[in-house]
Amino acid sequence: MSRIKLIRFAENANRPDIVEPGKDTYQQLGGRWHEAFFQNNHPITLEVGCGKGEYTVGLAERYPERNFLGLDIKGDRIWRGSTRAEALGLTNVGFVRTRAHDLLTHFAPGELAEIWITFPDPRPRDRDIKRRLTSPRFLDLYQQTLQPGGLIHLKTDNEGLFEYTLEVLQERPGATILAHTKDLYATPELLPHAEDIQTTFERKYRTLGVPIKYVQFTLS
């Protein structure tokens, strides 16, 4: 491990906005995020696979009346998001270092108001279908942790993942596709719903001329 990563991991261990293995708060906040972490009752939005936290922090800056959490397994990435949030003086944002399939360990039923999935690994190989963040396995987890009617958003550059997600949702009882497009920036009426915050990946793909796909849906 590089010296820079070691320094960042040491900083993560002392940052109150980061929940990770080894801290007393890890696996202890499910059902208690409002009072024990944010100390308010504002709705909680989770970004699954937040990477460097660009979207999580961008949303937190835009909506101070809401709470935001970024979830990712990479401590180095979370450090970047936490550093940005600290520089902006944000108090409505936090980060959880864990895997997406452990959602039920960290969140109680109905604790989340909204979920974002931004530019996840598309897992194109058939043997990796269960690892796609919009596979039935993960949709089950989202449905359990979301409030009834809670929104889920997917932004991706990958057409295969986009089409797969639509198929899964169309076959899922109770799921409702509220909006979708194969080219978000050619569908300006959807931009207010999709937020115009752009991650590094999004800027990269737009520069290359790759259309950004977007789906907004509910599971109940």
121 is catalytic: yes
Strands (E), the chain: 18-19, 44-48, 67-72, 93-97, 112-118, 146-156, 176-181, 213-218
Tokens of 163: 């089409």
pLDDT band with cut points at 50, 70 and 90 for residue 197: confident
Interval 149-159 mean pLDDT: 97
Tokens of 14: 């002392």
Burial class, 136, CB count within 10 angstroms (exposed 0-12 / middle 13-18 / buried 19+): middle
At 98-137, the pLDDT tens digits run: 999 999 999 999 999 999 999 999 999 999 999 999 999 9
Neighbours of 133 (CB within 10 A): 23
At 16-37, the pLDDT tens digits run: 999 999 999 999 999 999 999 9
Say how many residues make up the chain: 220
pTM attached to this predicted model = 0.96
Mean pLDDT, the chain, integer: 95
Of 76, 121, 183, 196, the catalytic one is 121
**Does 128 show up as a binding residue in the annotation?**
no
**Does 121 show up as a binding residue in the annotation?**
yes
At 54-109, the pLDDT tens digits run: 999 999 999 999 999 999 999 999 999 999 999 999 999 999 999 999 999 999 99
d(C-alpha 106, C-alpha 129), whole Å: 24
**Does 11 show up as a binding residue in the annotation?**
no
